[in-house]
Amino acid sequence: MIAVRITDTRDLTRKLLAQDLFDTFLFSEGSVTTFTTFSIDGTWHPDYFEQQGADALTWGLIRPVFFDIIKGKHTPISFRIVLRLSEENVKSLIASSGISMDPAQIAGLFLNINYQNQTVTCTTGTSLRIFTLDKTLDNVWDDMVLRFLRSRQIQAEIL
């Protein structure tokens, strides 16, 4: 697990809420505090989208909702977004890194984005369905997140 501070809050917020850079991540949960706190638990109801063909709750589906809550004259007091790497991308990460782990043993690779006091911090996390002392997956996921941020010109410093 790593924690990074985003050095340009405005740039990250624009890229997160107004662009599609994070749209392929799955949405796990989130909250926004403005005049009240809005919480979204990330429960997926696929029947709602049956006609539209959506098969997973991605950040791309939730992003417009968050944007509508946040937009306006006032900056939000805080927000918290928990994103998860899709199963397809987990499999790709495992294959490309040479880790000898069954993707079914991975419950999730998470990216937590927190905004508070005009500062954005991002932390990584892994959840496994097995017990292991091996931290190779954690390190590979941390490196991938740092490369992801750099490739999208999101300035971050490791805390």
Which of 149, 111, 113, 109 is CA-nearest to residue 32?
Answer: 113
Contacts of 40 (CB under 8 A, 6+ apart): 27, 29, 30, 31, 62, 65
Contacts of 64 (CB under 8 A, 6+ apart): none
Do 112 and 63 touch, CB atoms closer than 8 A?
no
Residue 56 DSSP code: S
Q: Where are the alpha helices (DSSP H) in the chain?
A: 9-17, 59-70, 87-97, 136-151
From the centroid of its chain, how far is CA 52? 24
Write down the pLDDT at residue 49.
Answer: 67
Provide the residue type at 72 as one letter: G
Write down the pLDDT at residue 14.
Answer: 93
Cα(60)–Cα(17) distance, integer angstroms = 9
> Average pLDDT for consecutive 10-residue bins of the chain (159 residues)?
95 94 95 94 78 76 92 91 96 92 94 96 97 94 96 95
Write down the pLDDT at residue 45.
Answer: 79
Model pTM?
0.92
